[in-house]
């Protein structure tokens, strides 16, 4: 149980375009999901907390207008990187909160902006 699916696993886009990443909880309902960014050889940096039916909570220093988060249902949260630039290239990971499991993570999305 407690499976989270993240899609796509890899995406390459041109500078200035937008990219949407999906995070789905497959066998449970997740009122809260989390989006992380991971730089090479570093730990996960929490970007934002996504709450179903309400606005996401962004961590300090994360641009909410660049990283749009929508949590429209209890099983789906999306992260849209708007007007992407090469410095947005990174590994993005979502997770959903199950108190007894801890966080269950998606498999990650490698974003490359060219």
Partner 1 sequence: AQSVAQPEDQVNVAEGNPLTVKCTYSVSGNPYLFWYVQYPNRGLQFLLKYITGDNLVKGSYGFEAEFNKSQTSFHLKKPSALVSDSALYFCAVRDNYGQNFVFGPGTRLSVLP
Which positions from 23 through 42 interact with partner 1, judged by CB under 8 A?
41-42
Return all residues near 4 (Cβ < 8 A) that are at least 6 apart. 23, 24, 25, 26, 30, 94, 95, 96, 104, 105, 106
Contact call for residue 102 and partner 1 (CB under 8 A): yes
Please state the closest distance from residue 111 (CB atom) to partner 1, in A: 12
- Residue 106 in the binding site for partner 1 (CB under 8 A): yes
The answer to whether 1 contacts partner 1 (rule: CB under 8 A) is: no
85 in contact with partner 1 (CB under 8 A): no
Query: Is residue 52 a contact point for partner 1 (CB under 8 A)?
Result: no
How far apart CA 18 and CA 32 sit, in angstroms, is: 24
């Amino acid at each position: 149980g407690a499976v989270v699916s993240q899609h796509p696993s890899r995406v390459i886009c041109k500078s200035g375009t937008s990219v949407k990443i999906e995070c789905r909880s497959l066998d449970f309902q997740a009122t809260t999901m989390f989006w992380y960014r991971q730089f090479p050889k570093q730990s996960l940096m929490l970007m934002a907390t996504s709450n179903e039916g309400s606005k996401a909570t962004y961590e300090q220093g994360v641009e909410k207008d660049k990283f749009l988060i929508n949590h429209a249902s209890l099983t789906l949260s999306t992260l849209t990187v708007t007007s992407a630039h090469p410095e947005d290239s990174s590994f993005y990971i979502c997770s959903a909160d199950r108190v007894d499991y801890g966080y269950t993570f998606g498999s990650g999305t490698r974003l490359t902006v060219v």
